[in-house]
Amino acid sequence: MTNSFWRYSHLLLAGTSALFLIIASVTGVILACEPIADQSQSYKVVDLENVSTATAIIALQKEYDEVLSLQVTSNDEVITSVITEDGISEEIYVNPTNGRRLGKVKERHPLFIWTTNLHRSLFLKSLGRIFVGIISLLLCFIAVTGLLVLIQRQGGLLKLYSKVKERDFNQRYHVILGRWLLIPLIIIACTGVYLSLEKFDLIPVHQAELDWSKEPVLPVHYQGLSKIAFFKELKLNEVRQITFPFSEDELDYYEFNLKTRDLLVHQYSGEIISDIEQPFSLLLSRWSFNLHTGTGSILWSLILLVASASILFFIFSGLMLFIKRRRLSDKITTVSDKDESEIIILVGSESGQTYAFARHITQELIQQGKSVFVSSLNKYTSYKKATHLLVLTATYGDGDAPTNARHFLSLLSTIHQPHPIQFAVLGFGSMDYKHYCRFAIKVDTSLQDHHSFAPLIPLEKINEQSEKQLNAWLEKWYAAIGAHHKSYQSKKKDITFAEFKVIERTALNLDQTFLLKLRHDHNQTCQSGDIIHIKAPKTDKPRAYSIARIEDDIVLSIKKHDHGICSSYLSDLQLGDTVHAYIEENAHFHLPLNPESIIFISNGTGIAPFLGMIPNLIDNGQQFQFFWGGGRFKESVELYQPYLPITVGAQSSSVHLTYSRAPQQKYVQHEIWDQRKLIAARLHNGCHIMICGSMAMKDDVIDLLEKISIQENHTALTYYESRGQIHIDCY
């Protein structure tokens, strides 16, 4: 909730101010060039800390008829306003040691004047300034909310500068540039706000005034400025401006504006007549001005230039992200509040298809004015306004719950529902399995036994995602809840089989397992973790295997079952043979981008995807732990040795191999338990766990991880699941 709150604030603020920010940033870029241009033709000729004010004043008065003022710029140039012998008043750059004229002070280039006006007031005078001030303030908020979103995304303040996980170009650079330019942007925005506040008199100023009416006390023995200690000791680098006495009258004083003080000084005795400290607000204002405009520092001007320009990129990439998210949310109608919804849909499945299906129903119902809340079975809780519950669930293995539904049955008995709810259960599965939809049946009976729930329509089991069955049942259910149903069609892509050539097949090892290396003629975009569906001749249905991608080839690990048609067929293949297959993307089991570290857990042929992933990690110098419950024998691992160039113990990575027969007689579960401290610590630090192998192993491992997580980290495993740290691909 907080996550989306900051994101929405960020979006809303940026959306409302985008147009003005574009103007401000474009003009900002132009204006940032001014100090850079100014400094490239500097009139700085001497080090000002070596020039006393006495030297400068004497030199100027000798050179010119009359001197009105002297000013030191932030680039250490000396500008003076003088009256020449011809009686003309001029502003010129001078060499302070000899008073020589270096050049005339040029007017600002009209382009910069025009741009400044646009930048600070949009040509709307005071009204425009108020606008720009508010936009600056919004920019502050945008930067701060952006920072908060970023902290959440990166998983804490300390990880702000850790690796960026986002892959999408816009998103990635929105984050990367954002975290580096945040500081200059906040400075630009804050100083902009300060300057605006000052313009509108909203900063309290207690300005003490120099007292011109005070009369000198000290006696005067004038022998020239060079004899007066004050003028001798005060160097030009401490001066901002000197206003010369108006006349030769003793009561006309020098006015010195130094870095932090203002002084009135007697022109013949050097006596300090009046001395005030500049108020803090004035110093702050000067700092704001310099920081905002880049005056006096080429480096800072360049940073300002880049930061200004980056705003344009942020607006562009932010807009792209917004559009993308909009397009997604049109599909995923993530819904509202669990306590505000009438219809609750709980999903027990990790397949994208079931979720896609749930979203389809949700969207359809929302269009008909229903309020719908979608979640996973594990997140079952009380629902204040719910009248209907729809459960969509698959079944794993021997009638087990899918990972995101494991806790449902225990939750069901403990949570109290404020109102009676009518339920319906839809089970997904395949009749090929012995325990077809058994978990769905369990859920259905448990709900029937529960006093808060009443059945609406009977359970239906959907075989192989049959759309005919689905639509028929949905029509019934929609009618029962008083809604209309349009026929559902999954967006499954048309499958096109292709020919893959066998380039290597190993002999069977002691575990009846062998490796198969396939090559496709066309460039493949597949990754390790994807799934290949291979159709053996004279069969209807393809079999699925996880793949490793090694260079341009695909490697599978296959165990030959005596009665397995496909595995037998594959074990007989010869070099040069072709197989009929297609590759399905399995995005949730791809190697996470830039993970902290990864723990791989597998048994048997589940090792396959990791054969492709581990070399990747080694190349990138990333940490990993690899657990493999091999086969029965110590020799089982030899099959995979060519693909696992592992030197155990390198860079705190480790490999744990177990085998079930003597002498070791160990299962992968034991090894995991032995390493529980390490695993718990890694999990806590955001490590990803990837599990691939048999269903039985998966259940054990998940239970074990749950235990470890609670015992060591006092955190339920669901916490890490919800953060996407657990990836499972079991069969």
Q: Which residues contact another protein (rule: CB under 8 A)?
A: 66, 68-69, 81, 83, 87, 89, 107, 113, 117, 123, 125-126, 199-201, 205, 207, 209-210, 212, 243-244, 246-247, 255
Question: Between 83 and 502, whose beta carbon lies closer to another protein?
Answer: 83
Using left for φ > 0, alpha for ψ between -120 and 50, and beta otherwise, residue 307 falls in: alpha
- Shortest Å, Cβ 89 to another protein: 4
Question: Between 117 and 363, whose beta carbon lies closer to another protein?
Answer: 117
First and final C-alpha spacing in the chain: 35
- Shortest Å, Cβ 121 to another protein: 8
Sequence-distant (≥ 6) Cβ neighbours of residue 221 within 8 angstroms:
269
Question: Between 54 and 242, whose beta carbon lies closer to another protein?
Answer: 242
- Shortest Å, Cβ 713 to another protein: 59
Question: Between 91 and 706, whose beta carbon lies closer to another protein?
Answer: 91
- Shortest Å, Cβ 275 to another protein: 15
Question: Between 249 and 552, whose beta carbon lies closer to another protein?
Answer: 249
Question: Between 26 and 282, whose beta carbon lies closer to another protein?
Answer: 282
- Shortest Å, Cβ 253 to another protein: 11
Give dist(CA 381, CA 383) in Å, integer.
Answer: 7
Mapping DSSP onto H, E and C, the string for 182-215 reads HHHHHHHHHHHHHHHHHHCCCCCCCCCCCCCCCC
Question: Between 274 and 363, whose beta carbon lies closer to another protein?
Answer: 274
Question: Between 113 and 176, whose beta carbon lies closer to another protein?
Answer: 113
Residue 532 · residue 582 · CB < 8 Å: yes
Place of tokens 């000197």: 242
- Shortest Å, Cβ 160 to another protein: 40
- Shortest Å, Cβ 242 to another protein: 12
Q: Rounded to the nearest 5°, which phi and psi values hold at 54?
A: -60, -50
Question: Between 87 and 621, whose beta carbon lies closer to another protein?
Answer: 87
Mapping DSSP onto H, E and C, the string for 234-265 reads CEHHHEEEEECCCCCCCCCCEEEEECCEEEEE
Q: Which residues pair with 471 in a beta bridge?
A: none
- Shortest Å, Cβ 59 to another protein: 19
Strands 654-658 and 623-629, sheet pairing: parallel
- Shortest Å, Cβ 289 to another protein: 13
CA angle 192, 143, 141 (to 5 degrees): 70
Tally Cβ neighbours within 10 Å of residue 140: 18
Which has the closest alpha carbon to 349: 357, 338, 337?
357
Question: Between 15 and 128, whose beta carbon lies closer to another protein?
Answer: 128
- Shortest Å, Cβ 257 to another protein: 9
Question: Between 109 and 723, whose beta carbon lies closer to another protein?
Answer: 109
Sequence-distant (≥ 6) Cβ neighbours of residue 703 within 8 angstroms:
none
- Shortest Å, Cβ 63 to another protein: 17
Sequence-distant (≥ 6) Cβ neighbours of residue 234 within 8 angstroms:
52, 53, 256
Give dist(CA 40, CA 35) in Å, integer.
Answer: 9
Question: Between 252 and 342, whose beta carbon lies closer to another protein?
Answer: 252
- Shortest Å, Cβ 232 to another protein: 25
Which has the closest alpha carbon to 546: 498, 603, 495, 609?
609
The SS3 assignment for 727 reads strand
Residue 277: both structure tokens together: 């400290």
The SS3 assignment for 38 reads helix
DSSP states along 418-447: SS-EEEEEEEEE-TTSTTTTHHHHHHHHHH
Angle between helix 169-199 and 125-154 (nearest 10) = 140
